[in-house]
C-alpha cells in the first residue's frame, strides 16, 4: 500500500486541487483509494453530530469515497483547541491520527493524506506534517508556489529532514514572468538535489475567483442591489481611489473585475456600473444615492455595502481570494483540466516506492 502526504511550505498553494487530481487519476486506474486530512482548519458541520474540515469534506465527496465521515479530519484546529494546548489541557494527539489511519487504510491500495496549511502547522500539537509523515511512513509530495530565495531555503530544509521520503514537487500557480527562472534555474536545481519535478502548473486567475455572494458573506456585507448578479465570479479587484479617466483605463484592461470604492465616490461608481463590473464593494457604510442603485439594478451589478474603510476591505478581499475554493463545479472542472494537462502522472507513479 502506498501512503502519500500532500503538503506545502507556504499556505494556499493549491494542495486541495492537486489532491483531487491525484485521487481521481488513481481511482480511474481502478486503485482503491483512501483519504483523510489529519489537521483541519475550517470546521464544517456535515451532519447533526459530525463536524469536519470543509476542504476535506469537499474532496471526500468529489472522490466518491465511502469511509466513515467522522474520521475524515480527526483534529480540528480552532481557538478552543489552541487555548487548551497552550494550557497543557490536551493529551497526545498523534494517537488520534494513527487511529484514523487504521480505520481508513484497510483494503486500500493507496491512502492520500491531505496536508494542513504548511508542513510545519501543528508542530506545537505534535502532529505537524513532518511528524505525521514519520509516524505513518508516508512519502511527501510537495505542492508549492515559487517565492524566490525563501522557496530555496524551505526546500533545502525539507530535504534535509525527510531525505528519501521527500519524493517530488509540483510547482503551482506559475505566472508567465516566473517561467524563465523556474525552467532554466529552479527545475535543474531541484533535479540536481534528487527532487523530481512532477508538474509545472500555470497560474489561472479563475481558480482564485470568488462569487459575489461569497464575498458578501465573508465581508459581512449587505447586498443592496443587482441581486441577479450574486453568482458572478470576480477575478480581479480595483480600488477606486484615482481620477476617473485613469480608473476607466485600468478597468477596461481588467478581467471580470470587482471595484472597491468609498461610498462617497459616485463618479467612480457610475463609471464602474456602465462598464459592467462584476460587483461594487462600497466602504464606510455610506449608502449610495437612488440613481446609483437604479443603474446597478438595470445592469445587474451587485452592490455590497460594508462598514470598514477601503484599505481594510482591500486587505480582506486579498485574503479571501488567496484561499482558493473549489466548491463551485466550474472551478473544480477547470482545475482538474489543468492537473490532467500539466501533471506528470507517469513520473509520479515511478517515484512512489
Q: What is the pLDDT of residues 74-95, one digit of tens each?
A: 999 999 999 999 999 999 999 9
Strand locations in the chain (E): 2-7, 33-36, 39-40, 43-47, 50-53, 75-76, 110-114, 139-144, 166-174, 197-202, 210-211, 222-225, 233-234, 236-239, 257-262, 279-283, 303-305
| pLDDT over threshold 90, residue 144 | yes
What are the sequence ranges of the domains in the chain? 2-203+325-351, 208-322
Least confident of 23-37, 54-68, 116-130, 247-261: 247-261
- The class that CATH gives domain 208-322 is alpha beta
Report how far residue 139's alpha carbon sits from residue 151's, in angstroms, rounded to the nearest whole number. 20
Strand partners, 45: 51
Eight-state DSSP code of residue 203: P
Largest CA distance in the chain: 66
Q: What is the pTM of this model?
A: 0.82
- Over residues 174-219, the pLDDT tens digits come to 999 999 999 999 999 999 999 999 999 999 888 878 889 988 998 9
- Over residues 275-294, the pLDDT tens digits come to 889 999 999 998 888 999 99
Query: Residue 47's pLDDT is what?
Result: 75
Structural contact between residues 56 and 37, judged by C-beta atoms closer than 8 angstroms: yes
43 pLDDT tier (thresholds 50, 70, 90): confident
Cβ-proximal residues to 315 (8 Å cutoff; 6+ apart), any chain = none
Residue 67 phi, psi (nearest 5):
-65, 160
Q: What would the mean pLDDT of 312-316 be, rounded to a whole number?
A: 88
CATH fold match for the domains 2-203+325-351 and 208-322: no
Query: Residue 46's pLDDT is what?
Result: 87
Query: Residue 349's pLDDT is what?
Result: 94
Query: Residue 318's pLDDT is what?
Result: 81
| pLDDT over threshold 80, residue 328 | no
Q: How many CA atoms are closer than 13 Å to the CA of 305, on its beta-carbon side?
A: 15
323 pLDDT tier (thresholds 50, 70, 90): low
Q: How many CB atoms lie within 10 A of CB 310?
A: 20
Cβ-proximal residues to 1 (8 Å cutoff; 6+ apart), any chain = 105, 108, 109, 110, 111
> Which cell is 272 given?
464602474
Q: What would the mean pLDDT of 225-239 be, rounded to a whole number?
A: 88
262 pLDDT tier (thresholds 50, 70, 90): confident
Structural contact between residues 182 and 171, judged by C-beta atoms closer than 8 angstroms: yes
In CATH, which superfamily holds the domain spanning 2-203+325-351? P-loop containing nucleotide triphosphate hydrolases (3.40.50.300)
Query: Residue 326's pLDDT is what?
Result: 64
Amino acid at each position: 500500500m502506498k501512503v502519500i502526504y500532500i503538503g506545502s511550505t507556504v499556505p494556499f498553494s493549491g494542495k486541495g486541487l492537486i489532491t483531487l487530481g491525484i485521487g481521481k487519476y488513481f481511482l480511474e486506474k481502478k486503485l482503491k483509494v483512501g483519504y483523510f486530512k489529519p489537521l483541519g482548519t475550517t470546521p464544517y458541520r456535515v451532519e447533526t453530530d459530525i463536524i469536519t474540515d470543509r476542504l476535506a469534506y469537499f474532496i471526500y465527496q468529489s472522490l466518491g469515497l465511502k469511509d466513515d465521515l467522522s474520521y475524515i479530519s480527526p483534529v480540528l484546529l480552532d481557538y478552543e483547541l489552541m487555548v487548551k494546548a497552550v494550557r497543557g489541557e490536551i493529551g497526545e494527539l498523534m494517537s488520534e491520527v494513527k487511529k484514523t489511519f487504521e480505520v481508513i487504510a484497510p483494503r486500500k491500495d493507496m491512502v492520500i493524506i491531505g496536508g494542513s496549511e504548511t508542513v510545519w502547522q501543528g508542530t506545537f500539537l505534535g502532529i505537524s506534517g513532518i511528524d505525521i509523515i514519520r509516524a505513518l511512513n508516508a512519502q511527501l509530495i510537495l505542492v508549492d508556489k515559487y517565492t524566490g530565495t525563501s522557496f530555496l531555503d524551505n526546500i533545502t530544509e525539507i530535504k534535509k529532514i525527510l531525505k528519501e521520503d521527500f519524493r517530488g514537487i509540483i510547482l503551482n500557480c506559475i505566472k508567465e514572468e516566473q517561467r524563465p527562472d523556474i525552467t532554466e534555474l529552479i527545475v535543474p536545481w531541484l533535479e540536481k538535489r534528487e527532487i523530481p519535478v512532477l508538474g509545472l502548473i500555470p497560474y489561472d486567475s479563475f481558480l482564485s475567483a470568488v462569487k459575489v455572494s461569497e464575498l458578501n458573506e465573508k465581508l459581512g456585507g449587505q447586498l443592496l442591489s443587482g441581486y441577479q448578479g450574486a453568482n458572478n465570479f470576480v477575478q480581479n479587484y480595483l480600488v477606486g481611489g484615482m481620477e476617473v479617466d485613469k480608473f476607466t483605463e485600468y478597468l477596461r484592461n481588467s478581467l471580470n473585475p470587482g471595484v472597491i470604492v468609498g461610498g462617497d465616490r459616485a463618479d467612480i461608481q457610475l463609471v464602474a456600473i456602465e462598464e459592467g463590473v462584476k460587483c461594487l464593494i462600497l466602504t464606510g457604510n455610506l449608502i449610495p444615492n437612488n440613481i446609483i442603485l437604479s443603474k446597478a439594478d438595470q445592469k445587474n451589478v451587485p452592490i455590497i455595502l460594508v462598514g470598514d474603510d477601503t484599505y481594510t476591505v482591500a486587505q480582506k478581499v486579498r485574503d479571501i481570494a488567496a484561499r482558493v475554493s473549489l466548491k463551485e463545479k466550474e472551478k473544480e472542472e477547470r482545475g482538474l483540466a489543468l492537473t490532467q494537462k500539466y501533471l506528470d502522472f507517469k513520473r509520479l507513479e515511478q517515484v512512489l516506492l
